[in-house]
Amino acid sequence: MDIRIINTDIDGIVIIEPDYFQDHRGFFFESYNQKRFAEHGLDLTFVQDNHSRSPKGVLRGLHYQGMAGPQFRLIRCTVGEIWDVAVDLRTGSPTFGKWFGVSLSAENKRQVLLAPEFAHGFVVLSDYAEVQYKCTGHHNPAAEASLAWNDPDVQIPWPITDPILSERDRSSGMTLSDYRKNPAFVYGPART
């Protein structure tokens, strides 16, 4: 089994589509194979797996860890469907402040790989969704930060109007204007 790498319009974000086998019993695929990823130039060492379950309308994000704890994130939806979003936080980048969105679902089996320099979030579109993601760095509360999910400068067209948010996501996300005053990342070649 192999994978297909789909480059996006933003350097540092790639979509990964795995080959899979399906018959009357169900399906099988390798969600991660270090050798196959390395053959495609994605030679990463993952150290932590995370798993969340959320009902329809929950929006999580836009989260990132700064240089005190940078993480590549390999994200997939294993139950239901989400709309997954990343925002470029590399000041000086031609795509700084631009967002990228993609549907991830149990049906399409797509994954998205984000470099550390991106804020990440998603909204649940199905009745429930389970999201799993692998990280190249451990969770580091001292490095945590978030961009406001509804920042008018970023203008993400979320497919819902009244999301269910955590208190953190409702109140602590900074605007892109605030981020520019003390950026965590500067533009350089993306590492994916």
CATH number for the domain that contains residue 27 = 2.60.120.10
Annotated catalytic residue 64: no
The answer, yes or no, to whether residue 192 has pLDDT greater than 60, is no
Q: 20, 64, 120, 133: which is the annotated catalytic residue?
A: 133
Is residue 32 situated within a structural domain? yes
Asked whether the whole model's pTM tops 0.75, one would answer yes
Residues 9-32 have a mean pLDDT of: 89
Q: Give 49's Cβ-side CA count (13 Å radius).
A: 6
Domain that holds residue 135: 3-186
Q: 32, 40, 63, 187: which is the annotated catalytic residue?
A: 63
Could you give the CA distance from residue 192 to residue 190 in angstroms, rounded to a whole number?
6
The answer, yes or no, to whether residue 188 has pLDDT greater than 90, is no
Q: What would the pLDDT profile of 67-83 be if each residue is shown by its tens digit?
A: 999 999 999 999 999 99
pLDDT for 27 equals 83
Could you give the CA distance from residue 65 to residue 119 in angstroms, rounded to a whole number?
8
Annotated catalytic residue 133: yes
The answer, yes or no, to whether residue 150 has pLDDT greater than 60, is yes
Is residue 11 situated within a structural domain? yes
pLDDT for 98 equals 97
